[in-house]
Structure 1
């Protein structure tokens, strides 16, 4: 019986942490990271500042935890990809999974896009850059011609750009997602073929 209680308590604590992250990200997006206080986050949640403080001591702690949770799939993808053969199928799978990870973390990436100065000052900018570079190094064939290396890198950036730029374009979000992934896949396919032909 005690084990069940502990499990329930643990789950509730996890839910509270998740709620804090969601509300904080909403407020950061609405009024900017700098202008949002811990007190406002607590008020929006309907808890005391002390209750919030139990989980997070600073806004930066909240933001870093959001970043770590939402980009964990990217880190796991880089680890998985590093153990795969450098085939075209592997590269296509990397793009597909990366596309899904970006989609799941869309609110965070919108925040990062709109608050670039803040992101640069905080540790999350460097953390994200290192994760992205890990994927880049797997997708780019160092023996390939420069144009094919650029294509490989462009495939990654196509996924990022698609997430931001296509928000304002009319159309079904699912269709837009598929179109962006198709363009990224075409780029990596061209680059892979070019590397094999050289």
Structure 2
């Protein structure tokens, strides 16, 4: 009986404390996903290539929201080298259609691309950073929030939803980056 209980605890623990899965990441490119942009900068930690160290610095960012039942899964996309801002200090995200190579089809296809900002490819969809006892840590899982918690988060981050065309282009661009540059 003890073996069965231990086995069940192991299986449940595996699901409860698992790393970010590919299906979770892909849900942020789905039609039900919503993308917000913040006019603030926040901390994001990135690994320093060739070392075991991380470097944390402030970036502009997108807030990606996916409904999951009666909760919302949240991720962030840090954006860098923003070319221009509107009068309220939100990054201006502009896209044009370009031919981009797709690994799965092995073809060049029309894809929204941008030169209005840069994204570190490893952090297209990030769980974000949290601060504990004065130290910055990369989250190991996405935040899951109720509707009221989501509204409070978006308000605290001064985030506004992208218009439908920009949101569609942003999803397509992030999806291409994630699936063709990893």
Q: Shared fold by TM > 0.5?
A: no
Give the TM-score normalised by structure 2: 0.27
User: Going by fraction, where is strand more abundant, 1 or 2?
Assistant: 2
Over alpha carbons, which structure has the higher Rg?
Answer: 1
Q: Which has the higher contact order (CA 8 A, sep 6+)?
A: 2
What is the TM-score normalised by the length of structure 1?
0.26
Which protein is richer in helix relative to its size? 1
